[in-house]
Amino acid sequence: MLGVMRTDIVHYDRETALVVVDCQNDFADPEGSLYVQGGEGVVTRCNAEIVRALAAGAFVVYTQDWHPESTPHFEKDGGIWPVHCVEGTWGAELHPRLLVAGPTVRKGVGGEDGYSGFTVRDPVTDETSPTPLAGILREAGISKVVVVGLALDYCVKATAADAVPAGFSAAVLREATAAVNLQPGDDERAIAELTSRGVVVVR
């Protein structure tokens, strides 16, 4: 299938950044409020990629979903999600087993909505604004990103898709992600959408 290649083809070098998306307790720990099935295994697979990336001199950067107590992102405030990743709480912390070897970009800090590590959206005006991620990557001389983490059908998908118009070539390592699958098949639809947007999905 177009855009699908074997894992061993993922190649890290100094112009590559591994973007580790939202490996936080609320998504990755079975006790988390929005636990993604397989989340703990994703932390383990992300760690293996982080080690490979660092050995090749690649850059590693992390994103963190970071919400105020009330936000239209949450079901109780008009959105669709249970309360999760509230600033300063255990659920918002990066998983304790995750190897942290680079900067972390928090998204949603001002109550903005959206899933991408590159952009956030004002829930009132609908205006999109950039996070520091693209600037951090450009500053580091990055041309290619490899995206892993949680969740495939939300923040991994949005982050990888946004990397392309931001000027980076982008790949997603399927085995180092897991999907929420609110609807069965959301994972495969996410992969199809990524492929159509020019992201290489590596199985």
Tell me, what DSSP letter sits at residue 115?
S
Within residues 51-70, the interface with ligand VGL by CB under 6 A covers 65
Size of the site for Zn ion (CB under 5 A): 1
Partner that binds at residue 151, options ligand VGL, Zn ion, none, CB closer than 5 to 8 Å by kind: ligand VGL
Quick one: what does residue 150 bind among ligand VGL, Zn ion, none, with the CB cut-off 5 to 8 Å set by partner type? ligand VGL
Decide the pairing of beta strands 16-21 and 4-5: unpaired
CB 133 within 8 A of CB 63: yes
Q: Which of 22, 49, 162, 187 binds ligand VGL (CB under 6 A)?
A: 22
The least distance separating Zn ion from the CB of residue 21, rounded to whole angstroms, comes to 11
Q: Which residue has the tokens 């973007």?
A: 19
Q: At 25, which amino acid appears?
A: N
Which of 11, 41, 58, 32 has its CA nearest to residue 177?
A: 41
Least separation in angstroms between CB 15 and ligand VGL: 26
| Distant-in-sequence, close-in-space partners of 125: CB < 8 Å, separation ≥ 6 | none
65 is a site residue for Zn ion (CB under 5 A): yes
Binds ligand VGL (CB under 6 A): choice among 150, 191, 194, 200 = 150
Q: How do the residues of the chain divide into helix, strand and coil, expressed in percent and rounded to 5? A: 30, 25, 45
Nearer to Zn ion, 65 or 162 (CB): 65
Which of the stretches 8-16, 58-66, 86-94, 145-153 binds Zn ion when contact is defined by CB under 5 A? 58-66
The residues that touch Zn ion, with contacts defined as CB under 5 A, are 65
